Amino acid sequence: MKIDIPVEVEMILDVLNKNNYEGFIVGGCVRDTLLKHVPKDWDITTNCLPEKIIKIFHENNIKTIPTGLKHGTVTAVIDNNNYEITTYRIDGEYKNNRRPENVEFTDEIEKDLSRRDFTINSMAYNREYGLCDPFLGKQDLKRKIVKCVGNPLNRFEEDALRILRGVRFATKLDFKLDEATRYAMFDKGNLLLNISYERIREELCKILLTDKPSLGFNILKELDLLKYIIPELDKCVGLDQKNPYHDKDVFNHCMSALDYTPCNIKTRLAALFHDIAKPECFSIDEKGIGHFYGHNIKGEKLTKNILRRLKFDNKTIDEVSILVKEHMNMPNLENKKSIKKFINRSKIDNVFDLIDLKIADRKSSANPNNIDTILELKDSIKEIINKKEPLSVNDLTINGNDLIELGIKPGKKIGKILNELNELVLEYPEFNTRRYLLDRVKKYM
């Protein structure tokens, strides 16, 4: 078999070969190429030691960066693209189910491949040798199986994040988990408690950005892993909504909404968490119908807590929380002022994500085809934004300084006047002229 390798990668392999060293492309790029996918990165492995890599590449006028000499990694920079080159290695003892304390370099490619997580990631290739596949990764690709290299219990004890990586690969590729691998994930799931939230967040985001993220979260549910990652979501599993508007339990409703949302992290997080507070807000009336009063308000707080725990950035936390809070709200479509207030609460750069969430939520209900009013709202929002109609105090043609110049003392009164003017121009945008507003303030005084 022959794999097409980019010219820059061939250049790296040639430099190694000319200096009597082995060089292979390895890992994900081999897997993706065999699947006829475009690799995101091209990683190289070699029996050349890191210091020697730096020396021989310098002699060939190729820039290198010593990105991880302790673990044998040097980055070659060609045409502003980075290529990681790592010396064959054997991992030392792992501490706290996270990473090896040290590594030992080796001359054997097979030993290097034996330390990797899954068979489909444990293949290497170069032109001279062909495919180096001691753990039958190519066969598992054909079988559509995610299977650990060696004993899966040992693999997950070494680094428990591999559990989430396995779920991610199964989700992204739509593969099944090998039975022994699956059992080991279930058995060692508690080790995820030793993994940093930052690392867990990165894997969750990658699962969320797959074509059908519900596949991954259903695996997490089936293997009883949600309680270690997002225990609030675990509480949604099996919660019968007992409501004519819903034909799914809370968890499955969230999964359906998740798959209906566009592939961006903000909207997918909002879909995942939009009903997260339903278990805490559940009540049943005298007719046996379930209700979740205020779950969007409580959900906003829960969402912030979860995203903070997972170390998301403040912008993502704020925007996703707004989507969760507003997903139940619907303005009066006959009242443009009501729609403008809806835009303000949602934030103008967030409002179409909210529309996407509302559509996904509706499609996941017992009346999935009833989205006409949401589409009508979307058209109205577009019209308001395209016309650049004033939406907030910041859009007024006067500001606090203008009021001070009229003799109004700085303080709460200025904010009160500006808010009253904003209420006026929300309903009558034609009044948003400097002359009219100043005259109105003078009359007010």
Using one digit for the tens of pLDDT, what is the confidence trace for 308-344?
999 999 999 999 999 999 999 999 999 999 999 999 9
| pLDDT tens string 129-151 | 999 999 999 999 999 999 999 99
Q: Is the dihedral of CA 66, 68, 70, 76 positive or negative?
A: negative
Averaged pLDDT, 89-96: 70
| pLDDT tens string 8-67 | 999 999 999 999 999 999 999 999 999 999 999 999 999 999 999 999 999 999 999 998
Averaged pLDDT, 216-229: 98
Distance, in Å, from the CA atom of 159 to the CA atom of 296, rounded to the nearest integer, reads 37
Distance, in Å, from the CA atom of 275 to the CA atom of 307, rounded to the nearest integer, reads 15
Residues paired with 77 in a beta bridge: 63, 82
In the block, residue with structure tokens 């170390």 = 311
State the pLDDT at residue 94: 61
Question: For the purposes of burial, counting CB atoms within 10 Å of the CB of 67, is it exposed (0-12), middle (13-18) or buried (19 or more)?
Answer: middle
Distance, in Å, from the CA atom of 170 to the CA atom of 442, rounded to the nearest integer, reads 67
In the chain, the domains with their CATH numbers are 7-142 (3.30.460.10), 144-229 (1.10.110.30), 242-389 (1.10.3210), 393-444 (no CATH)
Averaged pLDDT, 107-111: 94
Q: Please name which of 118, 155, 153 lies closest in space to residue 135, comparing C-alpha atoms.
A: 118
Distance, in Å, from the CA atom of 86 to the CA atom of 68, rounded to the nearest integer, reads 9
Averaged pLDDT, 165-178: 98
Confidence of residue 381 (pLDDT cuts 50, 70, 90): very high
Residues paired with 76 in a beta bridge: 64, 83
State the pLDDT at residue 313: 97
State the pLDDT at residue 406: 87
Confidence of residue 359 (pLDDT cuts 50, 70, 90): very high
User: Which residue did the predictor score with more confidence, 2 or 111?
Assistant: 111
Q: Is the dihedral of CA 337, 339, 340, 341 positive or negative?
A: positive
